[in-house]
């Protein structure tokens, strides 16, 4: 990787959760004095890692430790004690206080950490070296088919983001696992507000299967070594990186063959636009039609219509397009259906809906639904 933020150290290793791949990732600022922000799942079954993070002051986080293949969720007080121990051991490697590390875990729910195995694995870890963000993006993967990493530069500063996630994805306040690291100097309050704005339009706009994870965690850590930046330029670059990762997550959805983007305009407000966009992108009928290149655009009308509490939406004012192909309210003829079928053969499908109510907008991202999704999730623990 040619560009990387200054002053971060880390390591990746196999500590025994996976038999043949890295399953441990540690990234942290070598120096204290960082600013940070984090958001987490709102699931009622949030795991011990999330609960532990919530109890800390997120603005003080200096680094992240992640274990992959075991979510450590629904594991009770023992699971919480195990998460504390893993965090403490990782903090000693960095030379920081445990509360300065965010901890995350991803994988199977309802299984305790194999602590004897983890202790042996972590005892054998070397001291952290220069941060390897590409290796870190690989280490946090579970059923991901690709590593997800984005880099942007703003003045003298660099921001790098990594993410994982392909299933159990419809975030609520955060997403899967995603971490950003930068050497820009950004005050804590501004960084927190910026991150929440970005998450709302990127990670909270993605859905693979409509299921919110128990472990969703996203954070950003800034160590300030590159000095101050123009905050507007920084936010634009930050947003661009997060949006790129969002699309990578959607396109890499379990079993997916196509990225689906749903652009809703003309809504009463952003909230209404979000409701309609998510209804469309989450519809199994829409998703399977896209997979099968079936020009059954009426399924989009169905997904809008089932939001029956949105009574200010009138069918006579609605427009539905796939790419440049307007399907409603124009009369549909065989030639236009053939054009739609041809469009659906691409690997990215944009569905545009104008509700004709006001000027609210929202864009959601998802993927098609295939037989492979069923195979992956039917056999996940076996």
List, by residue number, the catalytic residues.
175
d(CA 352, CA 354): 7
Burial class (CB in 10 A: 0-12, 13-18, 19+), 294: middle
Burial class (CB in 10 A: 0-12, 13-18, 19+), 314: exposed
Q: In which element (H, E) is residue 201 found?
A: helix 188-201
* Residue partners of 255: CB distance under 8 A and separation at least 6: 369, 370, 371, 372, 373, 374, 375, 376
Strands annotated E in 140-200: 148-154, 157-164, 177-185
d(CA 29, CA 223): 6
Nearest one of 300, 283, 293 to 352, comparing CA atoms: 300
d(CA 106, CA 93): 21
Q: Please give the structure tokens belonging to residue 249.
A: 């997550």
DSSP character at residue 95: T
Whether 346 and 258 have beta carbons less than 8 Å apart is answered as yes
Q: Please give the structure tokens belonging to residue 174.
A: 């955060």
Dihedral (CA of 246, 55, 192, 97) sign:
negative
Beta pairing class for 177-185 and 259-267: unpaired
Q: Please give the structure tokens belonging to residue 218.
A: 């996203």
Q: Please give the structure tokens belonging to residue 326.
A: 């307007």
d(CA 47, CA 110): 10
């Amino acid at each position: 990787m040619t560009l990387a933020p200054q002053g971060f150290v880390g390591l990746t290793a196999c500590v025994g959760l996976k038999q043949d791949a890295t399953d441990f990732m540690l990234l942290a600022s070598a120096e204290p004095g960082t600013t940070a922000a984090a958001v987490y799942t709102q699931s009622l079954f949030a795991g011990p890692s999330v609960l532990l993070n919530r109890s800390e002051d997120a603005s003080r986080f200096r680094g992240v430790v992640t274990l992959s293949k075991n979510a450590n969720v629904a594991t009770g007080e023992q699971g919480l004690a195990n998460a504390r121990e893993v965090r403490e051991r990782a903090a000693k490697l960095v030379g920081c206080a445990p509360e300065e590390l965010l901890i995350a875990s991803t994988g199977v729910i309802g299984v305790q950490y194999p602590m004897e195995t983890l202790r042996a694995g972590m005892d054998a870890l070397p001291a952290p070296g220069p941060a390897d963000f590409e290796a870190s993006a690989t280490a946090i993967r579970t059923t991901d088919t690709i590593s997800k990493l984005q880099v942007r530069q703003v003045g003298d500063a660099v921001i790098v983001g990594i993410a994982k996630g392909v299933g159990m994805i419809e975030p609520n306040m955060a997403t899967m696992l995603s971490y950003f690291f930068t050497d820009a100097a950004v005050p804590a309050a501004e960084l927190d507000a910026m991150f929440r704005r970005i998450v709302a339009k990127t990670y909270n706009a993605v859905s693979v299967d409509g299921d919110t994870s128990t472990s969703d965690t996203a954070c950003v850590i800034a160590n300030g070594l590159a000095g101050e930046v123009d905050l507007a330029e920084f936010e634009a670059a930050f947003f661009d990186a997060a949006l790129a990762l969002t699309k990578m997550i959607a396109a890499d959805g379990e079993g997916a063959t196509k990225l689906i983007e749903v652009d809703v305009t003309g809504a009463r407000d952003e909230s209404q636009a979000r409701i309609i966009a998510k209804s469309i992108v989450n519809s199994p009928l829409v998703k399977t039609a896209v997979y099968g290149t079936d020009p059954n655009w009426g399924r989009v009308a169905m997904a809008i219509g089932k939001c029956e509490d949105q009574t200010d939406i009138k069918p006579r004012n609605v427009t539905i397009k796939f790419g440049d192909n307007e399907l409603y309210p124009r009369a549909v003829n065989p030639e236009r259906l053939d054009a739609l079928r041809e469009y659906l053969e691409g690997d990215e499908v944009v569905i545009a809906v104008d509700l004709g109510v006001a000027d609210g907008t929202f864009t959601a991202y998802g993927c098609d639904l295939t037989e492979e999704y069923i195979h992956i999730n039917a056999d996940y623990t076996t």
